[in-house]
Amino acid sequence: MKTSARTRRAIGAALVAVAVAGGPAACSSAADDDSSSAGSGSGTYAIWDPYPQFSDDSEWVKLLRGCGTAAGVTVERTGFDTTDLTNKALLAAQQDNSPDVLIIDNPVISTLAEAGVLTTTEETKLDISAMEPNLIAAGQLGGKTYGVPIGANTLALYYNKDLLTAAGVDVNSVTDWPSLTAALAKVKAAGKKGITFSAIGTEEGSFQFLPWFWGSGAQLTTLDSPQSVAALTLWTDWLGQGYAPNSVINNTQTTSWQEFASGDYAFSENGTWQLANAEKLGFAYGIIPIPGRTGGTAPAPTGGEFVSIPVQGRTERYATSQKLVSCLTSADNLLTTDTTLSYVAPVAAVQAKQVAADPKLKVWVEAVGAAKGRTSDNLGTKYPKISEPLWTAMQAALSGSKSPQEALTAAQAAASSATN
């Protein structure tokens, strides 16, 4: 089954979109072996992942090879940078030379699915019944599912215990926006700094704003709603009152973490990937979920990857690819893998084991339970066309060049033009 002319055009369009968003596309480097011609259950099967930090002797690569051995095949694994991997996957599909298994960042699923690069879980008989529905949603488009989540990360609020105690703040009182803002006011009155986050004009900024956006009840299809304006007003008011620094406009998640690590800030919005760094802080820390406007846990965006099976010319290979994916996402292997990746497992039973092993993960399991995919609500490839106007509005409002209402009205006009 060769790719059709229509599919090749879709892949070409997706390549252009990725090139614009993330730089020029790179050349494909699919393995020059029998990975695209061997029969089912034999030969070499190619797996591509976005974890170049893991060497061939790492536990991750040992797991991949172990799953290959269990399936009766040899696994050839290649790790790429996340953006490079998307380019490679699109080019390989265009050349009918896709890997057998692709581990890909969840927002990219809709791009590859729309381009005809990925099979559905129904086609390849992948069992997703144990996966948490809100995490599976990030890999769905048009009622079809295009892979299995290997794990998830998301955002919460780290806090400096010593600083809050000195400012007379009981962190248990922080349950909604008013109580959080009141805590920030106490911290400032005590001579310290309130909260730091990333509001940079990139996807990173949108990612950090979404818990407040969704936590207000706003929807990505209506960027200029009263709820959306309330969320952006919260952030601009924090800057205006001196509760958050002006540096947030240029902060990445890394630089905002560095500000928190200085010990001068009470709160930092950041993710599970900072847990190892948190253990190195020179002060006692804690973590709470990001509160919704009127209480409860705000839905934060899910990060993490899906394990997918790309379209192959020889469909008989799918049976072995399915074994590889099932092995990688089995309960026992997920526990090891998600601990390695600092991810929360996509299966409730495995999440319980994670919390039993490390009670500090409880808050992250709760945050992931309330999280949602950026491309959920069937937004798919429309999401990037909405996200850019959103981060542009954030920048305009936080810099003071526009009011939150003016900035979001312009954002909605831009998003409507781009998606209609």
Query: pLDDT per residue over 265-318, tens digit each?
Result: 999 999 999 998 999 999 999 999 999 999 999 999 999 999 999 999 999 999
What does each C-alpha distance from 257 to 218, 246, 268 come to in angstroms? 27, 15, 7
Q: Chain-wide mean pLDDT for the chain?
A: 90
DSSP secondary structure letters along 156-205:
EEEEEHHHHHHTT--GGG--SHHHHHHHHHHHHHTTSEEEE----SSHHH
The pLDDT value recorded for residue 38 is 38
Residue 39, pLDDT score: 43
User: Is residue 17 predicted with pLDDT exceeding 50?
Assistant: no
Rounded CA gap, 153 and 137, in Å?
Answer: 15
Distance CA 116, CA 396 (A): 37
Could you tell me the pLDDT band of residue 230, with boundaries at 50, 70 and 90?
Answer: very high
- pLDDT at residue number 28: 29
Confidence of residue 21 (pLDDT cuts 50, 70, 90): very low
279 SS3 class: coil
| pLDDT of the residue at 81 | 87
Higher pLDDT, 3 or 202: 202
- Measured CA to CA in angstroms, residue 196 lies from 84, 257, 261 at distances of 30, 8, 11
Q: What percent of the chain shows pLDDT beyond 70?
A: 90
**In the predicted model, what is the mean pLDDT of residues 223-245?**
98
Given a cut of 50, is residue 131 above it in pLDDT?
yes
- With cut-offs at 50, 70 and 90, classify the pLDDT of residue 377: confident
pLDDT at 173 over 90: yes
pLDDT higher at 55 or 82:
55
338-373 as b/e, with b when 16 or more CB fall inside 10 Å? bbebbbbbbbeebbebbbeeeeebebbbbbbbbbbb
Q: What's the CA gap between 201 and 320, in Å, rounded?
A: 43
Residue range 225-248: mean pLDDT, rounded: 98
Q: Per mean pLDDT, which range of 3-7, 152-156, 406-410 is the poorest?
A: 3-7
Question: pTM for this structure?
Answer: 0.85
**pLDDT band for position 339 (50/70/90)?**
confident
Please choose, from the candidates 303, 276, 275, 298, the residue with its C-alpha nearest in 3D space to the C-alpha of residue 287. Answer: 275
DSSP H/E element including 278:
helix 275-278
Q: What is the spatial distance between Cα 401 and Cα 187, in angstroms, rounded to a whole number? A: 28
Is pLDDT above 50 for 138? yes
For residue 81, the surrounding DSSP H or E stretch is none
Report the pLDDT averaged over residues 228-235.
98
Residue 32 has pLDDT above 50, yes or no: no
Domains of the chain: 5-149+305-342 (3.40.190.10), 155-301+378-419 (3.40.190.10)
For residue 68, pLDDT over 90 is answered with yes
Amino acid at 390: L
Which of the residue ranges 199-208, 241-250, 338-347 would you say has the lowest mean pLDDT? 338-347
pLDDT at 212: 98
Mean pLDDT of 112-132: 95
pLDDT for 42 equals: 67
Express each pLDDT in 175-197 by its tens digit. Answer: 999 999 999 999 999 999 999 99
Q: What per-residue confidence (pLDDT) applies to 181?
A: 98
Q: Which whole number is the average pLDDT over 1-26? A: 44
Greater model confidence, 181 or 142: 181
- Is residue 123 predicted with pLDDT exceeding 50? yes
Phi-psi sector, 380: left (phi>0), alpha (psi -120 to 50), beta: left
Q: DSSP assignment, residue 285? A: E
Q: What percent of the chain has pLDDT over 90?
A: 85
> Do 245 and 260 meet the contact criterion of CB atoms below 8 Å apart?
no
Q: Note the pLDDT tens digit of each residue in 204-219.
A: 999 999 999 999 999 9
